[in-house]
Amino acid sequence: MTAPLIQEMAAMQAMADAIANLTPAQRRRVAAWLTAYAADEEVAADADATVEPSAALEDTAPEAEAPSQPVTFDELIAAVAPKTGAQKAAVAGYWLQATEGRQSWKASEVNKLLKSADVKVSSISIVLTNAVQAKSPLVEELGRLGEGERSRKTFTLTAEGIAYVEDRLA
């Protein structure tokens, strides 16, 4: 990797770490500010510049007593209130990705979480396969470990899957 690419990746990781504990609404405001900051060529060219908040951010009223974020998986599943098997699997996948910082997970891990919260899903393998093949998939299959019928699939959430959960938490 080239030095500029490494610097960019380090900056992206620093931003991800900085906003990890913010609410979705707060993350959107930070992203809007960062987009405006990056688009201002005059400011972006001067690394020592002090940036004033944009007018859009100044007009944003502070959030009224923000609802507390779910601390346990049971609280998350109750807050999101998923209806379909794919939505339930997406919430469990979100929990694995958000709380454990994992990029991928197996069907058995999602099934274990759902069972621990007493959430019923008929067949997690079929649910996840259908979720991947849906018109607007919440889940994406990353790969398989092993061959044939007994292979273990790994999954991750799509942008739609993440948005599904976060929109219901905001």
Which one has a higher pLDDT value, 137 or 8?
137
User: The CATH number of the domain where 142 resides is what?
Assistant: 1.10.10
SS3 87: helix
What is the domain extent for residue 163? Answer: 73-169
Instruction: Please say whether the beta carbons of 140 and 158 come within 8 A.
Output: yes
pLDDT digits (tens, 9 = 90+) for 92-123: 999 999 888 889 999 999 999 999 999 999 89
Of 59-68, 117-126, 161-170, least confident by mean pLDDT is 59-68
Give Cα 46 distance to the centre of its chain.
32
CA diameter of the chain: 58
Does residue 65 lie within any of the structural domains?
Answer: no
Alpha-carbon gap, residue 16 to 105, rounded angstroms: 20
Domain count, the chain: 2
Q: Model-level pTM?
A: 0.59
Do 53 and 89 lie in one domain? The reply is no
**Tokens 């794919």 map to which residue?**
86
Beta-strand pair 139-145/105-106: unpaired
In a domain, 32, yes or no: yes
Answer yes or no: do 141 and 77 share one domain.
Answer: yes
How far CA 68 is from CA of 23, 62, 138, in Å, comes to: 9, 16, 25
156 beta partners:
140
